[in-house]
């Protein structure tokens, strides 16, 4: 039996190579409907996990919703709490657009208070998070 909240957003990221092609998304758990999905040609999984949660917070505020957010990334939870993406990815021409997007997310987190709970998805007991891209080997 699951102990997670169905009326919530699950977030996840995937990376082909790390760093490599990166994408993230948010999925409404009960309906399994994809709410948002973004891709970058070059990034890391941790950046994607951070951006997914930040995007979910922004989405909820824009739509005047108050749903919990699940992530399977402790790192993303820490970075969101610190309002800072602490990546070691090198900033260069290839990653400039991504770093601009990270800066926008960090700024949004600093300037938009929120009370939305960000919860850890219990993969061991609940299986893969509903936003999972299904590419694990």
Domain-embedded: residue 55: yes
Q: What is the mean pLDDT of residues 60-80?
A: 97
Angle at 32 between CA 16 and CA 7, to 5 degrees: 120
Domain-embedded: residue 72: yes
Domain-embedded: residue 136: no
Domain-embedded: residue 131: no
Check which CATH number belongs to the domain holding 108 and give it. Answer: 3.30.420.10
> How confident is the model over 6-33, as pLDDT tens digits?
999 999 999 998 899 999 999 999 999 9
Domain-embedded: residue 67: yes
> How confident is the model over 107-118, as pLDDT tens digits?
999 999 999 999
Domain-embedded: residue 3: no
Look at residues 120, 44, 40 and name the one whose alpha carbon lies nearest to residue 80.
Answer: 120
Q: What is the 3-state secondary structure (H, E, C) of 46-74?
A: HHHHHHHHHHHHHHHHHCCCCCCEEECCH
Domain-embedded: residue 134: no
pTM of the model: 0.95
- Which residues form the domain of 69? 9-126
Q: What is the mean pLDDT of residues 33-44?
A: 96
Domain count, the chain: 1
Long-range CB contacts (< 8 A, 24+ apart) of 99-108? 101/40, 101/51, 102/47, 102/50, 102/51, 105/50, 105/51, 105/54, 105/55, 105/58, 108/54, 108/57, 108/58
């Amino acid at each position: 039996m699951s102990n997670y909240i169905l009326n919530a957003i699950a977030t996840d990221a995937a990376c082909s190579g790390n760093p490599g092609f990166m994408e993230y998304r948010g999925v409404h758990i009960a309906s399994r409907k994809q709410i948002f999905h973004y891709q970058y040609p070059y990034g890391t999984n941790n950046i994607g996990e951070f951006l997914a949660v930040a995007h979910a917070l922004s989405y909820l505020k824009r739509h005047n919703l108050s749903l919990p957010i699940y992530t399977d990334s402790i790192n993303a939870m820490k970075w969101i709490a610190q309002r800072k993406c602490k990546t070691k990815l090198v900033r260069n021409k290839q990653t400039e657009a991504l770093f601009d997007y990270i800066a926008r997310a960090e700024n949004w987190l600093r300037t938009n208070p929120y009370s939305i709970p960000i919860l850890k998805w219990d993969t061991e007991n609940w299986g893969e998070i509903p936003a999972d891209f299904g590419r694990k080997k």
